[in-house]
Structure 1
Amino acid sequence: MALSALETNLTKHVRALLEQHPIDSLKKFTFTISLLSCLCAGSVLLFPLFTPVLHNEFGYTQFEINIVGSFTSLGMYLFLPVLGYLADCHGPAILSVIAVLFFAPGYTVASLVITNNWNYWILAASFCVIGCATSAFYFACLLSCAKIYPKNKGLTISAPVTCYGLSSLIGAQLLKCNFLKSANGELDLFITFRFFSVLYLFLGIFNFVSSCVVTIERDVLLRKSTPSTEDSPLLEGESENDDLVKNHKSKFKLFLKDISAYILLICFLFTIGPSEMYITNMGSIIQTTSPLSSISNQVSIHAVFSTIARLSLGGLSDFLVNKYSLSRIWLLLIIMILGAITQVIISTSLFIGEDFYIISALSGFVYGGLFTIFPTIVLSIWGAELFGSAYGFYMLSPAIGSSSFGMLYGVIYDAGCTTLESALTTCISPVFWITAISYSFSSVLLVIAWRCLWSKRQDV
């Protein structure tokens, strides 16, 4: 298929510089830059470190904090179907451009909200823009890796996903630096947001350059498959660009008619939603159940075990499929069951106080596992050509799920919880009983789809 006119014009100057180098070297360059970008992409995952400052210094209620968190999730996930579709039709470079245009203004407005004490709805809107920029930035890296090395599905997914998980660990330690602190020793959100706005401006430019390699490789493959003849047109016309879009539309329509796609969507909604809710409200959960615990340390523990899951499960899934023909669904099912157990542990206050690190570790492993195995399964079932649109479609789940479960948590917390309360069971345990049920329901749906619809597929 021909390159689209937008992709051709957007990347032609960078491609002219990069095409002087061997394609294998360019692939390694892209893979390296993508992973380094992912290591810096997770600033929104640091939201639990922002919430105590918003609550204590600016008087935000837990419901208002969840409004901001929900808008962040909506920005991150609601636009991903469009971002994925754009990337499939026009290459991941278009996503890098969107990230550059959205990141700096988003964090700049957020810093102005803090310094001028504007309405929290403006902060929510700015974090929605930041969330969209984060997804565009991260998705550009993920798609670049998946498209340049499509044969090793598990590793090409787990590597950028792992680095993205590590970014919150790195960020949590970065926010301990004195230059980001106020005079009273607390995190200065104005300086922090300004720092991120400058950081992502430069990272976005580097990411755009690396994502152009995907366009170069597609162009090289196109030239090899369609050699020039006397009858060939000298310039690619609009008809070829139309064929590219029409071909993608026809495949995407077939995807939307697949009932198993919607079953997997529901499974994702009822598992990743509770996980996102936990991350958004980690600060208040820790202050309620384990007030002596360091929030930044618990965020780091969560990030470490999320990274362990992302790093290990991708390669493990490839090994089990190739060596033993064991389905990836087994891994996803185990992660879901572990998630349900974690929700029960939280709701019964089994590990609180000094033992809260166990909850952080389990929650982190489940979160990282879900974001590793789900895209790997999507890539296996619907292929690399449709991966951007298909996985973007599934990102509707965390957009809806995190907002719904987050609002539920905020209402229950504001109605009956204080930071001095030690009995979590009498405070917010109903939320985690509901999330335990949602994990269990998703597990049942997954088994039904697996046994009834995917049983004949060997690479799932």
Structure 2
Amino acid sequence: MPSYSEQWLTDRMTGGGRRLCAGGIFTFPLFSPFLVEHFKLTAPRLTTIVLAGMIGQYPFAAFVGKAIDLYGPWSCSLASSVLFSLGFGLFAHEIYKTLDDIAAPSKSSFERLTLYYFLAGLGTVTSYFSSLFAASKNFPEYIGIASGVTMAIFGLSPVFFSLIASTFFTDEGSELDVMHFITFMAILTGVVHLIGAINLQTTSLTTAEIVSGHEDAEDEENISEQTADERTSLITPKKLNVQVTVVPIEHNQSLIDILNDRYFWLLGLALIICVGSCEMIMSNLGSIVMTLPSSSSVPSSVATATQVRLLSLSNTITRLVVGPLADFASPMASFLPNGTIHYTRKHHISRVAFLSGASMLLVLTYTWMELGVRSREDVWVLSVGTGIAYGTIFTTLPGVVSGVWGLSNLGRNFGIITYAPFIGTPLFSYLFAFVSAAHASDGGVCKGEQCWRLTFAVTIISAAVSLFASVLLWRKWKGRV
């Protein structure tokens, strides 16, 4: 078996390209104006297509997680190769066969585009889960760093694709060549994930092996000598200077056990609000930019690309920072057969505090949209605030789920909890779409702050509810995560 550090390096090298190519669906704002013009789409129909990709990540999340628990991450990487190739490839083909000067919108084209983007969304979740749980299960003691680095590279995906789009698929003074750009995404994502399926693997590390990766040979010998009695703790607190607590915990809860836990539902409510509203902004960032006047002569397409990159970079940087910070402030516990948990470092604060911080940031960010935004240049606060909150939530969530309900069914449990945005994202997205459509003149593009003012008033109240829910969870799980 490779050493702990060698396995870490191998996972980072083989998985980086796959994660960098996994977020193609988040580039939708780059080509949404083209789709409106080319297919004569209304705002609700455009929202439906992007929602198909966004919520396509979630319907099968629990099944994807369970498949990883049973068969390993390689199987889902292979599925991603097929789904991305089909989704993006057929999407590009639909653009190719549709004339530029169609007189009226085609319902069948709209339905096919929705289906194809749904396939790409499903490919996103299989790719995301395969990378996340390969890292989390290989490095359970440093789940914050493992998941943070994994998701940071994933967060860079929109920046990576937007740079490719502007460099290779946009001529000077012209618009993006959408058909060829999406075709390129279909080929690249298919090939990269096929290679990932060949290389991806996980290892099963025991508590002693994890500890021995950080202790000298003498400490490793002392640990191994104490394994004869299954009721004897594997860790010597005085020797290793760790915190030991005895708590009742069940590692192999059934699905019914999870669903009967009211705090599971409270966590789900917080995620419905936070992730749902964040993904609404990610889907409609281009539309928000286009509603506002510009204080400069920068074209709307350039302004939109700038905001997409700001959101993506803030999301990425947050994951790189929050992962190690969470591991330091909230070290993950190791669970032993006799019900004992131990922390290898002092536990300073609950990981749920990071979720509370994200909720508070969203309250402030959405309030800024109500009170402070006057031009396109002011939208950067929304982009950065959304990116930080979104990155914080998804970096700390695997640690919260595994800390409360154990590691053995982490894939299944994480998959179930991610059904929350499957509810929240369409709720907030259709709220935005219908408010915008109600203020559009003669079925055209909506202009002005009235296009989204009601939407952000609702999200402010919702984010405050999420903050309250996360504080309750913080108090309930104090000392556990």
How does the TM-score come out when normalised to structure 2? 0.79
Q: Higher helix proportion, which one?
A: 1
Task: Assess if the C-alpha contact under 8 Å between 2:290 and 2:447 holds in 1.
Answer: no
Task: Assess if the C-alpha contact under 8 Å between 1:351 and 1:358 holds in 2.
Answer: no
Which residue, 80, 92, 96 being the options, matches 2:77? 96
Q: 1:216/1:367 Cα in 2 relative to 1: closer, same or farther (>3 Å)?
A: closer
Cα deviation 1:43-80 (Å, max 9, x = unaligned): 11111112111123332111111100111122111211
How far is the alpha carbon of 1:306 from its aligned partner?
A: 0.9
Answering whether residue 261 of structure 2 is matched by residue 258 of structure 1, we say: yes
Q: Quick one: distance in 2 between partners of 1:353 and 1:300?
A: 15
Answering whether residue 469 of structure 2 is matched by residue 438 of structure 1, we say: no
Task: Assess if the C-alpha contact under 8 Å between 2:352 and 2:473 holds in 1.
Answer: no
Structure 1 SS opposite 2:174: coil
Q: 1:140 corresponds to which letter in structure 2?
A: S
Q: 2:326 corresponds to which letter in structure 1?
A: S
Answering whether residue 472 of structure 2 is matched by residue 448 of structure 1, we say: yes
Task: Assess if the C-alpha contact under 8 Å between 1:143 and 1:388 holds in 2.
Answer: yes
Which residue, 255, 268, 282 being the options, matches 2:271? 268
Answering whether residue 135 of structure 2 is matched by residue 110 of structure 1, we say: no
Q: 1:354/1:449 Cα in 2 relative to 1: closer, same or farther (>3 Å)?
A: closer
Q: 1:250/1:371 Cα in 2 relative to 1: closer, same or farther (>3 Å)?
A: closer
Task: Assess if the C-alpha contact under 8 Å between 2:437 and 2:446 holds in 1.
Answer: no
Match in the other structure for 2:395: 372
Match in the other structure for 2:235: none
Q: Quick one: distance in 2 between partners of 1:66 and 1:422?
A: 17
Question: What pairs up with 1:71-150 in 2 under 5 angstroms?
Answer: 71-117=52-98, 119-150=109-140
Q: Quick one: distance in 2 between partners of 1:323 and 1:395?
A: 30
Which residue, 254, 268, 286 being the options, matches 1:283? 286
Task: Assess if the C-alpha contact under 8 Å between 1:267 and 1:446 holds in 2.
Answer: yes
How does the TM-score come out when normalised to structure 1? 0.83
Answering whether residue 45 of structure 2 is matched by residue 44 of structure 1, we say: no
Q: Quick one: distance in 1 between partners of 2:167 and 2:364?
A: 36
Q: Quick one: distance in 1 between partners of 2:56 and 2:353?
A: 31
How far is the alpha carbon of 1:150 from its aligned partner?
A: 1.0
Which residue, 150, 164, 168 being the options, matches 2:158? 168
Match in the other structure for 1:235: none
Cα deviation 1:274-324 (Å, max 9, x = unaligned): 100011111110010245451111111111111121111111111112445
Structure 1 SS opposite 2:460: helix
Task: Assess if the C-alpha contact under 8 Å between 2:440 and 2:447 holds in 1.
Answer: no
Q: 1:199/1:82 Cα in 2 relative to 1: closer, same or farther (>3 Å)?
A: same
Match in the other structure for 1:313: 322
Q: Quick one: distance in 2 between partners of 1:254 and 1:296?
A: 45
Q: Quick one: distance in 1 between partners of 2:370 and 2:45?
A: 23
How far is the alpha carbon of 1:449 from its aligned partner?
A: 2.6
Task: Assess if the C-alpha contact under 8 Å between 1:290 and 1:356 holds in 2.
Answer: no
Which residue, 162, 182, 201 being the options, matches 1:193? 182
How far is the alpha carbon of 1:392 from its aligned partner?
A: 0.5
Task: Assess if the C-alpha contact under 8 Å between 1:77 and 1:395 holds in 2.
Answer: yes
The count of aligned residue pairs is: 409
Q: 2:373 corresponds to which letter in structure 1?
A: L
Match in the other structure for 1:356: 379
Match in the other structure for 2:451: 427
**Where do 5+ consecutive residues of structure 2 fail to align?**
99-107, 210-223, 225-249, 331-344
Q: 2:192 corresponds to which letter in structure 1?
A: L
Q: Quick one: distance in 2 between partners of 1:26 and 1:337?
A: 37
Q: 1:297 corresponds to which letter in structure 2?
A: T
Q: Quick one: distance in 2 between partners of 1:109 and 1:249?
A: 41
Cα deviation 1:376-422 (Å, max 9, x = unaligned): 31132223222111111111111111111111111111110368766
Answering whether residue 49 of structure 2 is matched by residue 68 of structure 1, we say: yes
Match in the other structure for 2:305: 296
How far is the alpha carbon of 1:349 from its aligned partner?
A: 4.5
Match in the other structure for 2:198: 209
Q: Quick one: distance in 1 between partners of 2:409 and 2:445?
A: 50
Task: Assess if the C-alpha contact under 8 Å between 2:134 and 2:202 holds in 1.
Answer: yes
Answering whether residue 68 of structure 2 is matched by residue 56 of structure 1, we say: no
Task: Assess if the C-alpha contact under 8 Å between 1:72 and 1:128 holds in 2.
Answer: yes
Match in the other structure for 1:237: none
Q: 1:423 corresponds to which letter in structure 2?
A: G
Q: 2:360 corresponds to which letter in structure 1?
A: I
- Report the more deviating stretch, 116-125 or 155-164: 116-125
The CA RMSD over aligned residues, in Å, is 2.5
Which residue, 384, 405, 422 being the options, matches 2:428? 405
Match in the other structure for 1:335: 358
Q: 1:105 corresponds to which letter in structure 2?
A: L
Q: 1:392 corresponds to which letter in structure 2?
A: G
Q: Quick one: distance in 2 between partners of 1:22 and 1:366?
A: 34
Q: Quick one: distance in 2 between partners of 1:57 and 1:34?
A: 36
Cα deviation 1:424-449 (Å, max 9, x = unaligned): 1x332001111111111111112223
Q: 1:126 corresponds to which letter in structure 2?
A: Y
Q: Quick one: distance in 2 between partners of 1:64 and 1:339?
A: 27
**Where do 5+ consecutive residues of structure 1 fail to align?**
1-18, 226-246
Q: How many percent identity over aligned positions? A: 25
Cα deviation 1:219-276 (Å, max 9, x = unaligned): xx9xxx9xxxxxxxxxxxxxxxxxxxxx997544432322211110111001110100
Q: 1:269 corresponds to which letter in structure 2?
A: I
Task: Assess if the C-alpha contact under 8 Å between 1:100 and 1:204 holds in 2.
Answer: yes
Q: 1:283 corresponds to which letter in structure 2?
A: G
